[in-house]
Every structure is written in C-alpha cells, then in structure tokens.
Chains A and B, each alone.
Chain A
Amino acid sequence: MAVERFPIEAGHIMMFARAIGEDDPAYYAAMSGDQPVPAPPTFVQASAQYDPDYILRPKIGQKWFGSGRTESGTAGGGSGGGEGKAIGSGLHAEQHFTYHQPLRAGMVLTATTRDGDRWEKEGRRGGKLMFGETITDYHDANGELVITARSVGVRTERAVEQEG
C-alpha cells in the first residue's frame, strides 16, 4: 500500500470515534469547532480510504467478491471458492504502532509500505499457516515520521470448513 495523501480530517475522526464507541468530546470537535482534534490511537488504519488500489473496498464498475445475487460476485455462484475465497481468507494476526509525534486533524500524511519478515507455522489442525509482515511509515507534510505501523497477516493453506 502506498498512500500519497492522507488528510487527517475532524469529520473522519468523529465517524471513527463513533464506530469504536469512543465518547470523549475531544474527538467530536468537528461539531464544536474546538482545536486541536486528536486522532484515536489506531486511526491511521483508515488510510485505506486514501489508497486507490485498496483491495478490500468495492471499486466502481468492477465485480466485488462479496455477495449480491450469489454468495460471491466473483466466484460464479455457490460455495466453493474462486478469487473471493482467496482474498477473504487472509486474517490479521498482529498489529503494532509506534508513535513519534501526536496525530491531529489538519495534518496531511503520506504512507509508504515495505515488506518485513515471512514465516510459516504448522496449524493446530494441520495445514500450514503462512505469516507475512508489512511495515508502514506515516510521514507528515514536512517529511517527519509520525507513526510506524507493523502489521502481521496470516493465510491458511486450507479453508476453514475443510479443516474440521
């Protein structure tokens, strides 16, 4: 993921705060006009909104792998797989943030991502678990580091219903 422009907006912070059950008025300053507006600790995850290629968002004019007339718009109907299963089967195993300076509404970030380690583990019910690490650096408009995020994703070799 590379994000060229991630504007930190008070209204976006308010929506995020609502979604996570955070009622501290500081996060609702879009309505009061108070300053500064802090961002919640995991807010940079919402940079996905500004990634034009983000895979877990439907794209206008393209087939989506979630359900519509059928259980998956890209699997050709019915259970059993296709692209949708592959995309949907990755799970989030770990997430780590290091905070270098406070994140507030009005800042504009860039996000640059690099791959970290890759490793494998035997699953509890057999089948390989494949782990991969992604590191994202968020910089402000002056090029100063604001937050470093490290994400670990895991993919299963076999689908859940075939394991049991």
Chain B
Amino acid sequence: MLDASTKVGDVHELAIVDDLTRTQIVQYAGASGDYNPLHSDEPFAKGVAGYPGVFAHGMLTMAMTGRLLVDLAGPEGLLSYGVRFKSQVWPGDTLTATATVTEIADGVLDLSVVTTNQRGEEVLAGTASVRIPG
C-alpha cells in the first residue's frame, strides 16, 4: 500500500499470473461477456484467423495488472488507468506487473505501469493516477 513515505522512483511489483491457462481465459470471457472465438476457440483462431492458437483478451491482462493498482491504492483510490496492448499473451505465459512512481503532487500520485512476460517482453504499458491512501 502507498502511504506518506512513498517517493518518486519507488517500484512495486506483483506476479499477476503464473502459467496462464485456457480455462482462465474462458472464465474471463464468461465474466466480461467478450466471447470472441480468438480467445477460446482453437480451430477458429488457427484455421480462420491465422494465429498460432488462442490468446488472452487484452482486457484480461489489463484487469490482472489492475490488481497491483488496487493493492497500492485500495479498491476506490484510482483516478485514471490507461494502457496500450503491446504484445499478445498466450496460454502458458507468466506475467509480472510493475508500477513505478513518477510524480507526487497535491495528494495525487502518478504511476507508470508495465507488464512483462517470462521472456521480459512488454505485453502492456500505461499509466495510472491514484489518490494517496490515508
């Protein structure tokens, strides 16, 4: 959790998924309502869309990364959260989210947010602003 001792440059890290399963992708499809067969239907993803296989919704990676922000700022501390999806996330991937404090002003703290896979490739990059808890 962030607090009054938080400084610019502080880095917070969270392992957000270890060996992503196809079933978790299906869970996310069910909860979010996004049933794009690219994410759960291997014959479609390969045969029709031309991908090596199914891959995760970008929004699943964004949501999992959001857990780090909730850990830092509490469930109602977020002011903004935005990302770019840089690379696909595949079943079997292991992801780590990292948030770095870039600015602190007037009770608001800015973070740069990056999520990388087990090969060190960025799959998501963005920013968030949070209210300093407490």
Q: A: which residues have CB within 8 A of B?
A: 12, 15-16, 18-22, 24, 26-27, 38, 40-42, 45-46, 48-49, 54, 56-58, 64-67, 71-72, 75, 78-81, 84-85, 87-89, 91-99, 102, 150, 159-162
How far is it, in angstroms, between the C-alpha of A96 and the C-alpha of B66 when the chains are bound? Answer: 12
Contact flag A99-B48 (CB < 8 Å), given A19-B30, A46-B33, A56-B36: no
Q: B interface, how many residues as a size bin?
A: 35 or more
Distance, CA A21 to CA B71, complexed state (A) = 13
- Scoring A18, A41, A97, A102 by chain B CB atoms within 10 A of each residue's CB, the highest score goes to A41
Q: In whole angstroms, how far apart are the Cα atoms of A93 and B17 in the complex?
A: 21
CB-CB under 8 A for A20 and B85, given A26-B75, A67-B44: no
Q: Return the chain A residue nearest B40 by Cβ.
A: A66
Q: Which of B76-134 contact A (CB under 8 A)?
A: 76, 78-85, 126
Whether A24 touches B81, Cβ cut-off 8 Å, given contacts A19-B28, A67-B44, A72-B48, is no
The 6 lowest CB-CB distance pairs between A and B, nearest first, are A96-B82, A66-B37, A161-B50, A38-B75, A71-B47, A48-B33
Question: In the complex, A159 Cα to B109 Cα: how many Å?
Answer: 41
CA distance A89 to B32 in the complex (A): 19
Q: Which of B35, B59, B63, B70 has the most CB of A within 10 A?
A: B63
Please indicate the chain A residues that have their CB under 8 angstroms from the CB of B84 in the complex: 93-94
- Residues of chain A with a CB closer than 8 A to B44's CB: 65-67, 71-72, 84, 88
A57 with B33, Cβ < 8 A, contacts A20-B63, A67-B44 known = yes
Given contacts A58-B35, A79-B47, A84-B44, A40 and B63 within 8 Å (CB-CB): yes
- In the complex, which residues 22-66 of chain B have their Cβ closer than 8 Å to any Cβ of chain A? 24, 27-28, 30-38, 41, 43-44, 47-51, 57-60, 62-64, 66
Are A67 and B41 within 8 A (Cβ)? yes
Whole-angstrom distance between the Cβ of B109 and the nearest chain A Cβ: 14
